[in-house]
Amino acid sequence: MLATVETNLLGPIRMSSALIDHLKRQPRAAIVNNTSVLAHVPIATSAVYSATKAALHSYTLSQRFMLRDTAVTVQEIAPPWVNTDLIYKSDDPRAMPLDAFIAQTMAALASGREEALVEQAIPMRNNAGPNEHKFIDKFNAYLAANPIPMGS
């Protein structure tokens, strides 16, 4: 659990903090933080992971504001479930194919948008609102009934 916090939250904070003075001296620089759609729609069975991604999303928003008058841009990648070995490469149709994720993410980063979102991530990213809890409960109930395969 602490390793997840160290890696997913403190790692990016420490890395950008260590490099920020150097980045500010460049004519153009970027910080790209990798969060997750789970920052917006947490999985109950991965609560700490989801919480670290939510915290990094919040930090990214603040970091972007603090660097607004510099040459440093701050972008965020918020992937959905992508078919990689990170969780379990199962070719589950719910997972986004890796090549499509890479192509869409690179295009979004190149556009300069603050959030480099692939189409599959947008509905989950946009879930917040008065029915947020119902949306998240429904998502977790679906995953309880249709679990994501873990391990090989």
The predicted-structure confidence for 37-93, as pLDDT tens digits, reads as follows 999 989 999 999 999 999 999 999 999 999 999 999 999 999 998 988 876 667 788
At 20, list the tokens: 């920020």
CB proximity list for 100: less than 8 A, separation 6 or greater: 118
Distance, C-alpha 39 to centroid of its chain: 7
pLDDT number for residue 150: 66
pLDDT number for residue 32: 97
For residue 95, which amino acid is it?
Answer: A
pLDDT number for residue 124: 81
β-bridge mates for residue 148, sequence order = none
What structural domains does the chain harbor? 2-122 (3.40.50.720)
CB proximity list for 111: less than 8 A, separation 6 or greater: none
pLDDT band at 33 (very low <50, low <70, confident <90, very high): very high
Distance CA 65, CA 77 (A): 17
For residue 117, which amino acid is it?
Answer: L
Distance CA 24, CA 125 (A): 30
Catalytic residue numbers, as ranges: 49
β-bridge mates for residue 31, sequence order = 74
